């Protein structure tokens, strides 16, 4: 296991300690625990608060999207493991500004169970809680309700965060975020696995001449294991699956996210984007903007995912709104 | 070779095509070649222009640091290979705003030879050219003149770009950038190699239980190959070398850059930062700000580097100045 770590069991805590030391005016602990992190200026009175959380190993997901115009707090689990309901509840109390709290996270069993328990705990404190699950991975199930959340988390945070900062109430933030996610589809391709520090073994095995199309960010099985193919062919396969599944028609405008799962470098992401843009041009789907880089990762996994979000005027406004965290900055201008 | 690529010989051109398609209002070709890229609003009359360049495979170095408050143009070579003098010269002409051009790049033989030839070509056009070489890698030689440029390139671009945007003349930009680099030292540690697409073989071999301290970003030999050590121990070794070599004393203020060479994830960079901060605290060296992420990479190489720049009031002003490219955004506020 080739990593810059100390004791595997200290991996998550030392990472969070590093983040708190690096950005001391930006983040703080909700109470005493390193696993309950909120923005320093939280709670903001009169603003809907957004809580997220999940297993570690996906930076900037989740902690990196606690920021201005993004989320307000996060419960941080062990690598690829849910944080506890108690941690979620403590974050909820710490960020509640009196306008309710939106739970916004990926559709994974442990997270759903614990956030639902946290909801019950918060309600005994008369904190209004709503939940939006991110289920953007078209490869994970034919049934949308059962799909996992992957890089579409980024769009969910961006839209929900901007809506909350623009004074929308809890029901409105929930409904706008659901609309954004109804318009969002993602799919990934893995080339090589990552290793969870405490396990010490790769999350899956794959031959030197193989790739897996549709693989999940924790190594969940995809829809096809195949020999290595050219970037253009892989990109075409992924885009075809996304377009066949989602609400994308000729004349629509979309935002594109080409995401590295960790080790795949920017150079390759731009080769992929080069093809995505051509395919969408052929289909007369207009590209409004793009995000290309490490937005939702799995430690050092080699692979990529592509996400599309169909836009409308309101979603454009919230997508274009400024946002800032130490992990993601968007100025108050359209930059591309 | 597990990569998202098409034909290896098209790797660089397709990457640049992707970048131009993704950021069409930001970048443009100087003339017809994909290997000569400048900011869309270049040349800017009355501003010192900054040209950089070098081999591909290091994004955001070099192209990603063409931006507002950063560089004006770049000559792009094949992977790990210098661009030509002609390409550098064409970029120079295209970005010249009448106040001269600073060549700012890493100290590698081919790049030096070609930029020097480009200087002669530019001078026949009466374009004033000055050169600052980045030589921050303390592991590469005991002789500072012979050292290679690595992640310190980031600080060089940031300071030179801000100085040029603040109206400094060519001699002033040169001198401020040299001062910044006199105050900057870097050192890296590699865990695993990358593969140049056209070569198809890893750039070096290293056993599963080994790391190489001081290795260069193209796989140049380091100062020690050792069995895997804990992150804290490695960090301590790197910081000790940097502090022993550079102008860092008790009471000084520094900026820290913890950089991934590609595949090393953010989680590990923050574990490293956690230790860096503790070591500097013990030494009573104050940390002014930090940059943590993928700032100068080698494709999918696994490894990291640490850079320190000692600050003074003028360097702080230029470090804090806003900057923006599609690859790096710093708002006009201190964010950390």
> What is the number of alpha carbons within 13 Å of residue A278 lying toward its C-beta?
14
How near does any CA of chain B get to the CA of A263, in Å? 4
Residue of B nearest to A255 (CA): B22
Determine the pLDDT at residue B335. Answer: 42
Which two tokens mark B39?
């900011």
Express each pLDDT in A185-209 by its tens digit. Answer: 999 999 999 999 999 999 999 999 9
B26 CB neighbours in chain A (<8 A) are: 335-336
3-state class (DSSP) for residue A316: helix
Express each pLDDT in B144-158 by its tens digit. Answer: 999 999 999 999 999
Using left for φ > 0, alpha for ψ between -120 and 50, and beta otherwise, residue B60 falls in alpha
pLDDT at A240 over 90: yes
In this complex, the residue of B208, B300, B331 whose CB is nearest that of residue A265 is B300
Burial B111-138 (b: 16+ CB within 10 A, else e): bbebbeebbebbeeeebbbbbbbbbbbb
Mean pLDDT of the A247-263 span: 98
Residue with tokens 């080739």: A2
Mean pLDDT of the A161-184 span: 98
pTM: 0.98
3-state class (DSSP) for residue A179: helix
B218 is catalytic: yes
How near does any CA of chain A get to the CA of B11, in Å? 8
Inter-chain CB proximity B335 and A326 less than 8 Å: yes
Determine the pLDDT at residue A335. Answer: 42
3-state class (DSSP) for residue A50: strand
Catalytic residue among B23, B58, B230, B324: B58
Determine the pLDDT at residue A331. Answer: 86
Burial B167-196 (b: 16+ CB within 10 A, else e): ebebeebbebbbebbebbbbbbbbbbbbbb
- Does the interface predicted TM-score (ipTM) exceed 0.85? yes
Inter-chain CB proximity A266 and B64 less than 8 Å: yes
At A332, the pLDDT band (50, 70, 90 cuts) reads low
Integer CA distances (angstroms), A14 to A8, A57, A299, B76, B276, in order: 10, 13, 15, 39, 12
Integer CA distances (angstroms), A131 to A115, A124, A128, A315, A319, in order: 9, 17, 10, 19, 20
Mean pLDDT of the A125-152 span: 97
Determine the pLDDT at residue B332. Answer: 66
Total residues found in chain B within this entry: 336
Which two tokens mark A326?
């130490």
How near does any CA of chain A get to the CA of B255, in Å? 11
**Pairing assessment for the beta strands B49-56 and B73-79 based on DSSP bridges:** parallel
Is residue A186 a contact partner of residue A150, using CB atoms and an 8 Å limit? Answer: yes
Domains and CATH numbers, chain B: 12-134 (3.40.50.10440), 184-324 (3.30.1180.20)
């Amino acid at each position: 296991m080739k990593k810059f770590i100390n004791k595997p069991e200290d991996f998550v805590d030392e990472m969070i300690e590093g983040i708190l030391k690096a950005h001391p005016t930006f983040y703080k602990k909700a109470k005493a625990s390193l696993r309950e992190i909120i923005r320093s200026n939280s709670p903001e009175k009169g603003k809907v608060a957004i809580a997220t959380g999940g297993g570690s190993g996906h930076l900037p997901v989740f902690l990196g999207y606690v920021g201005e115009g993004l989320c307000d707090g996060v419960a941080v689990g062990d690598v690829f493991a849910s944080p506890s309901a108690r941690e979620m509840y403590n974050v909820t109390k710490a960020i509640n500004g009196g306008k309710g709290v939106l739970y916004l996270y990926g559709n994974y069993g442990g997270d759903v169970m614990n956030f639902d328990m946290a909801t019950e705990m918060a309600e005994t404190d008369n904190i209004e809680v709503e939940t939006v699950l991110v289920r953007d991975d078209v490869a994970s199930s034919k049934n949308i309700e059962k799909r996992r959340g992957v890089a579409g988390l980024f769009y969910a945070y961006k839209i929900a965060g901007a809506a909350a900062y623009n004074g929308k109430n809890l029901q409105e933030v929930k409904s706008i975020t659901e609309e954004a996610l109804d318009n969002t589809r993602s799919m990934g391709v893995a080339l090589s696995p990552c290793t969870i520090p405490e396990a010490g073994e790769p999350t899956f095995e794959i031959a030197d001449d193989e790739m897996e199309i549709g693989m999940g960010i924790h190594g969940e099985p995809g829809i096809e294991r195949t020999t290595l193919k050219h970037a253009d062919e892989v990109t075409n396969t992924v885009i075809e699956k996304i377009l066949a599944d989602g609400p994308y028609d000729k004349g629509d405008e979309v935002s594109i996210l080409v995401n590295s799962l960790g080790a795949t470098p920017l150079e390759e992401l731009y080769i992929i984007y080069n093809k995505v843009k051509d395919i969408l041009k052929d289909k007369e789907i207009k590209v409004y903007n793009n995000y290309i880089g490490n937005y939702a990762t799995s430690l050092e996994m080699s692979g990529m995912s592509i996400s599309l979000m169909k836009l409308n005027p309101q979603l454009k406004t919230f997508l274009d709104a400024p946002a800032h965290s130490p992990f993601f900055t968007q100025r108050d201008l359209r930059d591309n």
